[in-house]
Amino acid sequence: MPHNANSPMHILVVDDGPELPKAIRLMLTVSGGYKIDIAAEGESALTQFDAGQYDVVITDYKMPWMDGLQLAAAIKERSPRQPVILITAYTESLAEQDWQSKVDFLLQKPFSLEELHRALARVLDNSRTA
């Protein structure tokens, strides 16, 4: 979905722990121009995704029941052009996975506000040109 520059960017952040979503919300609230929704796990994220329209989905990789790659695959099945950013500290375990077909950007923990902005800009640029 192309982002309207006059409205806040709508982002769904998914993580089973409260710290990462709170940090992302704080980082992006300081920047302004973002509306952040949070889901604590994959199933509720899919319910929220189906009910709303998001410019970007940001998901943690390591989560119980449904990991970030499984969530990204389910989102891409529903909406193939939906930008998805995967956040992880476990890049070694991703080496054997086919993550490139499921996510648009891999953001390694820990990351800075600047790195988060770069990731958002990259996936939004890619979704506009796809």
Q: What single DSSP character describes residue 71?
A: H
Q: What single DSSP character describes residue 13?
A: E
| Model pLDDT, residue 92 | 74
Convert 22-57 to b/e letters by CB count within 10 Å (16 or more is b). Answer: ebbbebbeeeeebbbbbbebbeebbebbeeeebbbb
Whole-structure pTM value = 0.91
* Range 9-129 has CATH code 3.40.1280.10: no
Number of C-beta neighbours around residue 106 at 10 A:
15
| Model pLDDT, residue 1 | 46
| Model pLDDT, residue 130 | 61
Per-residue pLDDT of the chain (130 residues; tens, 9 = 90+): 455 667 889 999 999 999 999 999 998 988 888 999 999 999 999 999 999 899 999 999 999 999 999 999 999 999 999 999 999 987 777 776 778 889 999 999 999 999 999 999 999 887 777 6
Beta bridge partners of 11: 36, 56
